[in-house]
Amino acid sequence: MADLGPNEPLIGVSGSRNRLTTPALVLDLDILERNLTALLDQCAESGQKLRPHAKTHKSSQLAKRQIDAGAVGVCCATLHEAERMAAGGASGILITSPIVGEGKIQRLQILNDVADNLMIVTDNLDGLQTIEKSLRDVGGELTVLVDIDVGMQRTGSNDPAQIVALASYLSESETLTYGGVQAYSGRVQHIEDYGERRDVYGAQMTFLAGVVKSLEDAGFQPKIISGGGTGTHHIDQELSLFTELQAGSFIFMDVEYNAVDLANGPTNPFETALFVQCSVVSNNADNFFTIDGGFKCFATDGPKPEVFSENLPDASYDRFGDEHGKINLGSGNYKPALGETVSLITPHCDPTVNLHNYYHGVRGDTLVEILPIDGRGVL
Q: In the range 246-305, which residues lie near a second copy by CB under 8 A?
A: 279-285, 288, 290, 292-293, 295-297, 299-301
Contact with a second copy (CB under 8 A) among 33, 159, 271, 369: 159
Q: How far is the CB of 299 from a second copy (least distance, A)?
A: 7
Enumerate long-range contacts of 155-161, CB under 8 Å, 24 or more apart. 155/97, 155/98, 155/121, 155/123, 156/121, 156/123, 156/182, 156/183, 156/184, 157/123, 157/124, 158/207, 160/210, 160/211, 160/214
Q: Residue 320: which residues within 8 A CB-CB, separation 6 or more?
A: 290, 294, 326
Task: Report if residue 12 touches a second copy, rule: CB under 8 A.
Answer: no
3-class SS shares of the chain: helix, strand, coil, % to 5: 35, 20, 45
Q: How far is the CB of 129 from a second copy (least distance, A)?
A: 11
Task: Report if residue 154 touches a second copy, rule: CB under 8 A.
Answer: yes
User: Between residues 29 and 99, which has the closer beta carbon with respect to a second copy?
Assistant: 99
Q: Which 8-state DSSP code applies to residue 259? A: T
Task: Report if residue 6 touches a second copy, rule: CB under 8 A.
Answer: yes
Q: How far is the CB of 140 from a second copy (least distance, A)?
A: 19
How far is Cα 316 from Cα 308, in angstroms, rounded to an integer? 10
How far is Cα 221 from Cα 164, in angstroms, rounded to an integer? 10
CA distances from 171 to 119, 162, 163, 218 (A): 15, 14, 12, 11
Q: Please state whether beta strands 24-28 and 274-282 pair in parallel, antiparallel, or not at all (unpaired).
A: antiparallel
DSSP assignments along 12-70, one per residue: T-TTGGGG--SSEEEEEHHHHHHHHHHHHHHHHHHT-EE--BTTTT--HHHHHHHHHHT
Q: Give the x/- contact pattern for a second copy in 333-352, rule: CB under 8 A.
A: ----xxx--------x-xx-
**Sign of the torsion formed by the C-alpha atoms of 67, 226, 352 and 273:** negative
Contact with a second copy (CB under 8 A) among 49, 55, 57, 198: 55
Contact with a second copy (CB under 8 A) among 46, 91, 109, 124: 124
Could you tell me the maximum CA-CA distance found in the chain, to the nearest angstrom? 72
- Per CB under 8 A, the segment of 206-214, 220-228, 254-262, 353-361 that binds a second copy is 353-361
User: Between residues 43 and 82, which has the closer beta carbon with respect to a second copy?
Assistant: 82
Task: Report if residue 123 touches a second copy, rule: CB under 8 A.
Answer: yes
Task: Report if residue 20 touches a second copy, rule: CB under 8 A.
Answer: yes
Task: Report if residue 89 touches a second copy, rule: CB under 8 A.
Answer: no
Q: How far is the CB of 90 from a second copy (least distance, A)?
A: 16
- Per CB under 8 A, the segment of 41-49, 99-107, 173-181, 264-272 that binds a second copy is 99-107
Contact with a second copy (CB under 8 A) among 7, 277, 343, 346: 7
Task: Report if residue 104 touches a second copy, rule: CB under 8 A.
Answer: yes
Site for a second copy in 164-203 (CB under 8 A): 186
Contact with a second copy (CB under 8 A) among 92, 140, 151, 156: 156
